[in-house]
Structure 1
Amino acid sequence: MFKLRYTLPAILLLVGAAIYFFGSQPEEKIVRVDMSVRAEIRVPEPRQAITYAYLPQYSHKVSYLRHSKLIDYLSRKSGFALRQVFPDTFEEHRRMVENGEIDISFSNPMTYVEIARSGARAFARIIEPSGSPTFRGQIITRKDNRAITRLEDCIGKTWIAVDRLSAGGYLFPLGLFFKHGIKQSDFKEISFAPGPGGKQEKAVLAVYAGKYDFASIREGTLNVVRDKINIDKIKIVAETEPFPGWVYAARKGLSPKIINKIKYCMFSMSMADPEQAAILYQAGMRGIIPAEDSDYDPVRELAEELGLLHDSQQGEH
């Protein structure tokens, strides 16, 4: 009786407090939405970029490091946004240019001859670190390989090349062999560097490790790999004749306004300017000069001699 006497008033007090607090809240306003009235929201589009690709002769990391400052410089000076893209293979690079996915291609002469067939056009080429607007292919082996001291010693040996579309890393040396009466069938094996990118390095490393008797590379590659191997253990067996250097080409349909502005910025660069010299040096060049499609006619003649133009028409690479 004592418990009931005190418990009942306590319960009534709690119930009253609840009614007071919850019942005294302001009535929630109902918001009615008219679904027939709609407003279109526009999401701001990102600034369109001009795509720039370096033919993947080296790893993507090397390609980026070599050209990142040059791309930044051209973007600042031209007022256009440039974005570097990274094809995995020479063939993918070619297809991307043809499909309009690469606006500005930086490639070897043989790849240029291929993409020119789909309407791409050369507008600039580089001056090599040697100071020449041309470059060569090189045939290399280990210095302690006494079985190969001259070009003819390569007969019956294993050869690792860079890529079927590599100029200095395969096609120029193949042309040199042809001039000396040496055909593909005269070698024990011809292999190509595997995987995406970095193929010049892989060809050198394969010979350095003794996996192949000799390799073909483009002039200048040994300087690129000197931090990975002791290049004093490599010897150059032969060099090809010089061909016009690496080329900048615009895809078919790229605005002449864009091309002309970028050309102006490129041709204005000088080794006499410390900032520009550092950018050019990092990119592996001493300058950029004008180019025309006809500059690469010697490369077309070589491709014709090797039967490559006929093969490319049939889609055989």
Structure 2
Amino acid sequence: MILNRLRAALILLTLIPFMLFACGQDEESVRVDMSKREDIRVPEPEPAITYAYLPQYSHTVSYQRHNPLIEYLARETGLPIRQVFPDTFEEHRRMVEQGDIDISFSNPMTYIRLAESGARAFARIIEPSGNPTFRGQIIARKDNRAIHHLRDCKGKRWIAVDPLSAGGYLFALGLFLKHGITVDDFAEIAFAPGPGGKQEKAVLAVYAGKYDFASIREGTLDIVKDKISLDKIRIVARTRPYPGWVYAARKGLKPQIVDKISKAMFKLTMSKPGQASILSAAGMRGIIPATDHDYDAIRELAAKLGMYGEYDTGRRDDL
């Protein structure tokens, strides 16, 4: 009896594939008309005032530093404001020129290029130091016995932030020129790779021993203190102070919008805890009015570096 049941089960298992195939043969095939298609559109963001922070740090850091400020400005002005994230200094400049960035927060060297396209300064920041100016720093590892003074950088490998970085390159280049050191006196000048995060990358490259020294903006070491041991870094030199980071409105942005945003910015104060946290997160102690002429000193430096000819005085003693 058991043997007969096993034989029946084996026969049934053998027949199942044929039964399934037969069922499939009875089904009608489905024809697909590829000429009838529907385009799926990615939803576009709602219209808003676009705000961009020059990408000296990673996009994550840029968002963390400025999102509280953007939310405050949106509440105070009633305007929809959205942060956008260009990958490079040059892309930031191009987006302002094309009208894709309404409010630019940039270093002063980038600003004077933006001004050529009609962008205009309306505000600048008070640095964490309490001054409306900032400096560049030249750093090396403390255990690098070959670099103790500015003159020791000759013949060494230099990593800078970006060719358009003020504190991260151009201020330092001006300092070297003042001391008779030119770009030909270095074994190599490299710039931090990739989109965003360039200040951090310059520091980390020196920390890892890939380059002998780096030029960064004042305040960067505080940003990377959780990633490296600062006691292993030496500040070799500091540049002279220059006018600080600047807010500029693109050409054609309505004056009423700029007025609303600037008034909200100027109201921020460190004396109110809620506002102090907004300012501190953004790496500033306040925002004050600015005009285009505040940045003439930057234009003079650019001329001395051979970037612009109209301010070239021929002098090198005031770098």
- Report the TM-score, using the length of structure 2 for normalisation: 0.83
Q: State the distance in 2 between where 1:308 and 1:109 align.
A: 14
Q: State the distance in 2 between where 1:90 and 1:167 align.
A: 11
State how 1:190-269 maps to structure 2 within 5 Å.
190-269=189-268
The alpha-carbon deviation at position 146 of structure 1 amounts to 1.1
Task: Show CA shifts across 1:215-262 (max 9, x none).
Answer: 000000000000000011001000000000000000000000000000
State how 1:177-196 maps to structure 2 within 5 Å.
177-196=176-195
The aligned amino acid for 1:299 is I
The alpha-carbon deviation at position 48 of structure 1 amounts to 2.0
Q: State the distance in 1 between where 2:109 and 2:128 align.
A: 20
In the TM superposition, structure 1's runs of 4+ consecutive aligned residues that sit over 3 Å from their partners are none
Q: State the distance in 2 between where 1:89 and 1:209 align.
A: 24
1:182 match: secondary structure: coil
Q: State the distance in 2 between where 1:294 and 1:96 align.
A: 23
Q: Give the equivalent residue in structure 1 for 2:271.
A: 272
Q: State the distance in 2 between where 1:202 and 1:46 align.
A: 31
1:65 match: secondary structure: helix
Q: Give the equivalent residue in structure 2 for 1:300.
A: 299
Q: State the distance in 2 between where 1:231 and 1:253 align.
A: 45
The aligned amino acid for 1:242 is P
The alpha-carbon deviation at position 181 of structure 1 amounts to 0.6
The alpha-carbon deviation at position 266 of structure 1 amounts to 0.3
1:88 match: secondary structure: coil
Q: Give the equivalent residue in structure 2 for 1:165.
A: 164
Q: State the distance in 2 between where 1:249 and 1:137 align.
A: 22
The alpha-carbon deviation at position 309 of structure 1 amounts to 2.2
The alpha-carbon deviation at position 196 of structure 1 amounts to 0.2
The aligned amino acid for 2:188 is E
Percent identity among equivalent residues? 74
Count of residue correspondences: 268
Q: Give the equivalent residue in structure 1 for 2:86.
A: 87
2:189 match: secondary structure: strand
Unaligned runs of at least 5 residues, structure 2:
1-43, 311-319
State how 1:131-170 maps to structure 2 within 5 Å.
131-170=130-169
Q: Give the equivalent residue in structure 2 for 1:68.
A: 67
Q: State the distance in 2 between where 1:134 and 1:195 align.
A: 28
Q: State the distance in 2 between where 1:217 and 1:279 align.
A: 24
Q: State the distance in 2 between where 1:217 and 1:48 align.
A: 36
Unaligned runs of at least 5 residues, structure 1:
1-44, 312-317
Q: State the distance in 2 between where 1:139 and 1:109 align.
A: 19
Larger Rg: 1
State how 1:112-131 maps to structure 2 within 5 Å.
112-131=111-130
The alpha-carbon deviation at position 268 of structure 1 amounts to 0.6
The alpha-carbon deviation at position 308 of structure 1 amounts to 1.0
Q: Give the equivalent residue in structure 1 for 2:20.
A: none
Q: State the distance in 2 between where 1:135 and 1:107 align.
A: 13
Q: Give the equivalent residue in structure 1 for 2:287.
A: 288
Task: Show CA shifts across 1:165-208 (max 9, x none).
Answer: 00000000000000001000000000000000000000000000
